[in-house]
């Protein structure tokens, strides 16, 4: 398997170069234009990414998580979602790296190979960083009106959380 994976990428590159040469495309020029476009895209989305990270930092430092935990705990209790997952559920739509830090902290509290840890791992792996992704895509395209995207994304996040907890409780209990 290692040999296959080590040869796969050079093989794909060779296919791309061969195809480009057969079509009469200047491969190097196309690569340079693509790299330049990538740098322009990075430059365009940088303020949006900076804004998201700044907002997350303010949210964490300003006790936003603790406030949301107090608000949402009664609702999560109805769905039998352990309170240890609450911070993870709140941060996941905001930050992938923040979620991993919270997940690591949660593991130190609940232990490895517990049902709560498995629920947390499933939530981490089955949901998206909604606000970060929206900032990247909408910021790059200069879209100001997000319409129903945020509502649909948050509904899908909630559905994923409920499904993760439900499926894990069936499989691992």
pLDDT (0 to 100) of residue 23: 92
Token pair in block for residue 163:
């499904």
Over the stretch 60-117, which tens digit does the pLDDT of each residue have? 777 777 788 788 888 888 989 998 898 889 889 888 877 888 898 889 989 999 999 9
- At residue 144, φ and ψ (nearest 5 deg) are -95, -35
Global model pTM greater than 0.75: no
What does each C-alpha distance from 105 to 63, 95, 110 come to in angstroms?
17, 15, 9
Dist CA 101 CA 104 (whole Å): 5
Dist CA 72 CA 32 (whole Å): 50
């Amino acid at each position: 398997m290692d040999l296959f994976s080590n040869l796969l990428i050079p093989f794909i590159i060779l296919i791309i170069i061969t195809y480009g040469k057969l079509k009469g495309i200047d491969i190097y020029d196309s690569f340079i234009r693509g790299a330049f476009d990538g740098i322009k895209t990075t430059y365009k989305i940088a303020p949006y990414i900076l804004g998201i990270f700044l907002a997350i930092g303010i949210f964490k430092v300003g006790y936003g998580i603790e406030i949301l935990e107090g608000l949402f705990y009664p609702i999560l209790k109805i769905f039998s979602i352990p309170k240890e997952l609450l911070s993870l559920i709140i941060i996941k739509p905001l930050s992938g790296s923040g979620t991993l830090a919270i997940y690591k902290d949660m593991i130190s509290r609940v232990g490895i190979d517990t049902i709560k840890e498995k629920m947390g791992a499933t939530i981490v792996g089955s949901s998206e960083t909604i606000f970060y992704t929206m900032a990247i895509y909408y910021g790059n395209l200069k879209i100001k009106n997000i319409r129903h995207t945020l509502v649909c994304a948050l509904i899908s996040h909630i559905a994923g959380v409920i499904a993760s907890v439900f499926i894990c409780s069936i499989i691992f209990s």
